Amino acid sequence: MRKIFRILLWLIMASVSAILLIVIFLTAFVFLQFDGSFDPESLKEGRGVVCGLVFGAAVHRSSLPGPGITRRVATAARLYDEGVLQHIILSGGKGEDGMASEAEVMRDVALKKGIAAGDITLEEESRSTWENLLNSRPLAAGCTSVIGISDRYHLARIGYLASRQGFPDIRTLPSDIEPSWPFELKSVGREVVALLYYMIITHLFPLDEIAQHGIPDEFEPDVLGFMITKSDHLVCQLIIQDKMHYLE
């Protein structure tokens, strides 16, 4: 009996240690991507049409822009004014019923900041970062290069998901203004969980099925509970689809 107890204790300790190592690795990965991958020097020659892909964020009541939208669009507007960007893709779908889409709200902010309406394209169907990239890629067909603009804590997930989708020509750039550190710290934790989740499901499912299993970007209150619920749902689906033969 003691031997069984020791084995179980060892397995528990090994599992906890493995989880901690994974969390530490992913946290470091998120922080290392804070500066993004965009290099201004790469645009000096043969730049062509450079497009900015702005990732949506929370829309407040009465369809007012949240701080995330304001930060991200302001950065795109600066690059547009400086001649770095020639076209802006605003990506983000609708949240609550009756609310404007994130893309629509971002367009209002962009127009107020001087971006010409003809240089703006809206993508209003996305509910997650995976879908932002998936739905925006066809809209960027005429772009020579694409710069993904979001808050710095979000850049690691953008880069990873873009690589999984075969969207290698996108570069990332953080917003000029940083969010408050309590919000950013919470957001880093969310990104670690989201990265781990996507690393799992992008290897379990065909890429064209990922959107239906993705985590909505607005999940906030109970991220771990959400992940557990989603994981339980995925396991049930895999069993039904007879993909987990080792359980038989």
Q: Kindly report the number of other CB atoms within 10 A of residue 39's CB atom.
A: 10
Intervals of CATH 3.40.50.620 along the chain: 40-178
pLDDT band at 228 (very low <50, low <70, confident <90, very high): very low
Give 113's contacts (C-beta < 8 A, 6+ positions apart). Answer: 73, 74, 77
Q: Confirm if 106 and 74 have CB atoms less than 8 A apart.
A: no
Instruction: Please report the sign of the dihedral spanned by the C-alpha atoms of residue 73, residue 75, residue 80, residue 81.
Output: positive
Residue 242 pLDDT exceeds 70: no
Write out pLDDT tens, residues 26-44. 999 999 999 999 987 776 6
Distance of CA 235 to CAs 49, 121, 227, 241, 245, Å? Answer: 44, 38, 12, 10, 12
Give 215's contacts (C-beta < 8 A, 6+ positions apart). Answer: 128, 194, 197, 198, 226, 227, 230
In a 3-state reduction of DSSP, which class is residue 9? helix
Mean pLDDT of all residues in 225-234? 45
| CA 238 centroid distance within chain | 25
Q: In angstroms, rounded to a whole number, what is the distance separating the alpha carbons of residues 75 and 118?
A: 19
pLDDT on residue 40: 76
Mean pLDDT of all residues in 128-142? 94
Residue 246 pLDDT exceeds 60: no
Q: Which residue has the higher pLDDT, 130 or 206?
A: 130
pLDDT band at 16 (very low <50, low <70, confident <90, very high): confident
Mean pLDDT of all residues in 232-245? 42
Extract the tokens encoding 203: 């290897």
pLDDT on residue 90: 98
Select from 85, 116, 89, 90 the least CA-distant residue to 101.
Answer: 90
Q: Which residue has the higher pLDDT, 60 or 1?
A: 60
Single-letter residue type at 212: Q
Select from 204, 197, 245 the least CA-distant residue to 224.
Answer: 197
pLDDT on residue 230: 47
Write out pLDDT tens, residues 42-98. 766 556 889 999 999 999 888 899 999 999 999 999 999 999 999 999 999 987 777
Q: In angstroms, rounded to a whole number, what is the distance separating the alpha carbons of residues 127 and 65?
A: 17
> For the ranges 141-150, 166-175, 186-195, which has the lowest average pLDDT?
166-175
Looking at domain 40-178, its CATH architecture is 3-Layer(aba) Sandwich (3.40)
Tell me the pLDDT of the chain averaged across its residues.
Answer: 84
Q: In angstroms, rounded to a whole number, what is the distance separating the alpha carbons of residues 119 and 83?
A: 12
pLDDT on residue 44: 60
Percent of the chain residues topping a pLDDT of 90: 61
Q: Which residue has the higher pLDDT, 40 or 136?
A: 136
Percent of the chain residues topping a pLDDT of 70: 81
pLDDT on residue 231: 44
In DSSP terms, 173 is beta-bridged to: 149
pTM: 0.81
